[in-house]
Each structure stands twice: as structure tokens, then as C-alpha cells.
Amino acid sequence: MSNNLLTGKRGIVFGALNEKSIAWKVAERAVEEGATITLSNTPVAVRMGTVNALSEKLNCEVIPADATSVEDLENVFKRSMEVLGGKIDFVLHSIGMSPNVRKHRTYDDLDYNMLSTTLDVSAVSFHKMIQSAKKLDAINEYGSIVALTYVAAQRTFFGYNDMADAKALLESIARSFGYIYGREHHVRINTISQSPTMTTAGQGVKGMNKLYDFADRMSPLGNATADECADYCMVMFSDLTKKVTMQNLYHDGGFSNVGMSLRAMATYERGLDEYKDENGKIIYG
């Protein structure tokens, strides 16, 4: 359902890989809300993935870019202003990748070259994106820049590995640059901290199925879906949130503020029963 929240606005959506991608849902919703957009992803993702199908469906251009390359990012902003016919009103950074996670390197056995790549792709790319936009004066007053993050930036989650450090840096960049861009051009920068979501990147996290289930049981409203995340992005891109900036906004069904829920406790107790020995003694209590 459209509320015309983004009528007349121009946006860039980075990170739509396939139908499961959060960015994919955001692109669809943004067009539904009246925006005109461009899409961007790595040249290899554009070649191998299904993003061209999305661009055809939404009638928008795909501009390939490696988000670690300032030159590529500058080109995305220049080309987007050209094809959309003016300055940009909203940007989504929906990019994350850890070679350490991919190669099953644990946090106490990190490869440091891989760590540099994790931080560059998943966090520093956000700085590069914003700096490129600012230098080109590519964003309109009260424009809105959003990046997606995860609560592992604040708390330790088994298996999230060096992506936790990347997310902490990403959120810090939103605050540091949010101050400067806000003061000088009234541009807002926020991060949305999303529930575990079954996407290509999400499924790469160790123990994702259990993490997903645990978060769902802990959250009074249940996990937030990718579609619901897209809805939240619409509000953040719209004029309804003009004074929201430098924030990390939880979109997680309440998970981040729950210590223990009834549903999680019930599951935990059932789990304990499974570990009783033949004498009824709990072994792994």
C-alpha cells in the first residue's frame, strides 16, 4: 500500500542482490511510495545476480560499483544525479561481507588482511559513500542516509565474528559524519539495527537458524522481516523524520531491551530436560 511518502524524491539503493535482500525490498517500496531511484552493487554481483531483473521491474538504472572504491562511488552519485535529474534525497547502504566468516576463521584466529577487507567493505565504505556525496554536494537539504546494522555492535553474539567490529565502526561513522553533514547541510545519517533476517549475508552467520529462532522467542513482537525493515526505511527517508539524525534505531521487535522472555525461558527449560542422565540428574545445567 502506498502512502506517497516519497513522491518526487530521488534515491540510491546499494546492496540489492536477490529477492531476499533487504535492499531489494527497500527499492520496491521506495518506488511504490513515489520515488525514482538508481540501484548499485558490485560489478560481479550485477553480472551474476538478479539485480537486472529488479531494475527492469522498477524501470531504474543499475550503476555497478565496488563500495570500497571512492572513484566508483563518485560515479554512482554523478550518474544518479544525471539520470534522476537532480540532487539525491535518500541513500541506503545495505552492504556487508566478512572473508573471515566466509572462510570459517574464528574471532581468536582472524586473518588480518581479511579483517581489513571486512572493515573496508562493511563499514569504511559508508564513510567513503558519505564523503563522496558531500564533496559532490549530491544530497538535498534534509536528505536521509541510512545504513543497516546489527545489535552485535553493542553485545556479543556467538558466531558474529569480526562483523561485530565492523558494525560498531559503521554506527560510529553515522554519528561522527551525522554531526558534520547535519550542521553544514541538514543531511541526516542514521543506522537501523535489524533483526536476524534470512538473506544471503544473514545465512552466512554461524548458527543463523538458532540465532533467528532465539531472537524470535525473545522479542515480544517477534523478529522484524525484510519487508517490515523496508517499511521503516520509508519513514526514515520521508519528511516525517526530518529531525532524526545520528541515531542507531532498533528495528527488532523489542529484542534489544529484553533480558529473558517467557517463550525463551520455556524453550530453555525444555532444553535442560533433554540433558538429564538416566538417574534424572541434569548434566549440562
Ligand X SMILES: NC(=O)c1ccc[n+]([C@@H]2O[C@H](COP(=O)([O-])OP(=O)(O)OC[C@H]3O[C@@H](n4cnc5c(N)ncnc54)[C@H](O)[C@@H]3O)[C@@H](O)[C@H]2O)c1
Residue recorded with cell 565474528? 161
Q: Mark whether 275 is an active-site residue.
A: no
Binding to ligand X (CB under 6 A): which residues in 3-42?
A: 15, 17, 21-23, 41-42
Closest CA to 13 of 3, 2, 4, 22: 22
**CB of 243 vs ligand X, minimal distance in Å:** 25
Rounded CA gap, 95 and 83, in Å?
23
Closest CA to 229 of 202, 194, 203: 194
**CB of 71 vs ligand X, minimal distance in Å:** 13
- Does position 148 interact with ligand X (CB under 6 A)? The reply is yes
Residue recorded with cell 525444555? 270
Which lies closer to ligand X via its Cβ, residue 34 or residue 64?
64
**Residue 6 identity:** L
Which lies closer to ligand X via its Cβ, residue 63 or residue 67?
67
Q: Is 202 annotated as a binding residue?
A: no
Helices (H), the chain: 22-32, 43-48, 51-58, 70-84, 99-102, 112-119, 125-135, 163-185, 200-203, 208-218, 226-237, 262-274
> Of residues 107, 160, 179, 268, which has the active-site annotation?
160
Rounded CA gap, 162 and 183, in Å?
32
- Total binding residues toward ligand X, as defined by CB under 6 A: 26
Closest CA to 190 of 223, 138, 235: 235
Phi first, then psi: what are they for 197, rounded to 5°? -140, 135
Binding to ligand X (CB under 6 A): which residues in 47-66?
A: 66
Q: Mark whether 250 is an active-site residue.
A: no
Q: How many CB atoms lie within 10 A of CB 6?
A: 24
Rounded CA gap, 218 and 206, in Å?
19
Which lies closer to ligand X via its Cβ, residue 50 or residue 140?
50
Which lies closer to ligand X via its Cβ, residue 40 or residue 245?
40
**CB of 143 vs ligand X, minimal distance in Å:** 20
**CB of 99 vs ligand X, minimal distance in Å:** 10
- Does position 197 interact with ligand X (CB under 6 A)? The reply is yes
Which lies closer to ligand X via its Cβ, residue 7 or residue 203?
203
Question: Of 143, 178, 196, 253, which one interacts with ligand X (CB under 6 A)?
Answer: 196
H/E element holding 161?
Answer: none
Q: Is 21 annotated as a binding residue?
A: yes
**CB of 85 vs ligand X, minimal distance in Å:** 25
> Of residues 107, 142, 150, 268, which has the active-site annotation?
150
Would you say 147 and 237 are in contact if contact means Cβ atoms under 8 Å apart? no
Binding to ligand X (CB under 6 A): which residues in 68-127?
A: 68, 94-97, 121
Q: Which residues are annotated as a binding site for NAD(+)?
A: 15, 21-22, 95, 167
Task: Provide the annotated active-site residues.
Answer: 150, 160
Binding interface with ligand X (CB under 6 A): 15, 17, 21-23, 41-42, 45, 66-68, 94-97, 121, 148-150, 194, 196-197, 199-202
Q: Which residues are annotated as a binding site?
A: 15, 21-22, 95, 167
